[in-house]
């Protein structure tokens, strides 16, 4: 029998990690198969790193390697990647010395584009624009394929997305998402996905128009939070406010 703990465990696997463009578990499969370092792509951003690894491309440099694992970066970084500094202040000298042929950044780092173009052409992943998107997994997949076409990895991108769709279907069936079986009512109960702050009085709620909510929808579950959100589909609220959905 699937429990709410099972559901949350599945949802909070690499699929739910916000910087992850698509499904980290599938990226791990690609990484295990062997990464390729051509062309010489660098990325100061975690979304760029994870997207490249999903395409079976090992970046020559990535940003803040020490923070990658701490912040939930997935899959684990293969050996041999050079640290090019923090996303807001990438090390231009390192990028130049590595003879980088392409630099991948995300939208929130777009202000650095002009600076980075002194080193190499820049590709901007338009995933987290701040406007909030209901179909962010689809958007991330489309951006991954756009990058795949740029670096000649269309086959890897298509295979990754096919495996991702299959994984969603598998989890939906396992968790009883949108089930019509009256004995399996887990999917009929609205679900909060939250992160408790260090003080214990407020929580970060993953609401509509964020990757977590999109994953929930694809698995057949309803997000319980119906209040206001910020541009990234999140909200900060007091723990007591969860009582609006007592089920």
Residue matched to tokens 């007592």: 246
Question: Rounded CA gap, 184 and 220, in Å?
Answer: 13
- Min mean pLDDT across 3-7, 113-117, 135-139 is at 3-7
pLDDT in tens, 113-123: 999 999 999 99
pLDDT in tens, 18-40: 333 434 434 444 444 444 445 79
Phi and psi at residue 66, to the nearest 5°: -70, -25
Q: Using CA of residue 82, residue 68, residue 215, residue 210, what is the dihedral sign?
A: negative
Residue matched to tokens 């968790």: 175
3-class secondary structure, 36: strand
- Name which residue leads in pLDDT, 243 or 14: 243
């Amino acid at each position: 029998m699937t429990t709410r703990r099972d559901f949350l465990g599945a949802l909070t696997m690499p699929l739910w990690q916000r910087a992850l463009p698509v499904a980290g578990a599938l990226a791990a499969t690609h990484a295990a198969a062997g990464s390729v370092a051509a062309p010489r792509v660098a990325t100061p951003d975690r979304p760029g790193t994870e997207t490249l690894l999903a395409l079976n491309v090992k970046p020559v440099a990535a940003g803040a390697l020490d923070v990658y694992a701490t912040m939930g970066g997935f899959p684990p970084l293969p050996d041999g990647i050079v640290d090019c500094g923090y996303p807001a202040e990438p090390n231009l000298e390192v990028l130049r010395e590595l003879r980088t042929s392409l630099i991948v950044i995300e939208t929130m780092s777009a202000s650095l584009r002009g600076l980075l173009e002194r080193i190499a052409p820049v590709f901007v992943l338009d995933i987290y624009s701040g406007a909030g998107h209901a179909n962010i997994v689809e958007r991330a997949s489309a951006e991954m394929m756009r990058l795949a076409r740029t670096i000649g990895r269309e086959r890897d991108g298509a295979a990754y997305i096919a495996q991702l769709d299959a994984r969603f279907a598998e989890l939906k069936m396992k968790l009883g998402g949108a089930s019509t079986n009256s004995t399996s009512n887990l999917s009929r109960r609205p679900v909060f996905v939250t992160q408790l702050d260090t003080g214990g009085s407020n929580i970060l709620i993953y609401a509509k128009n964020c990757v977590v909510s999109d994953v929930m929808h694809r698995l057949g579950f309803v997000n319980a939070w119906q209040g206001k959100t910020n541009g990234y589909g999140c909200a900060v609220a007091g723990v007591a406010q969860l009582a609006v959905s007592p089920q």
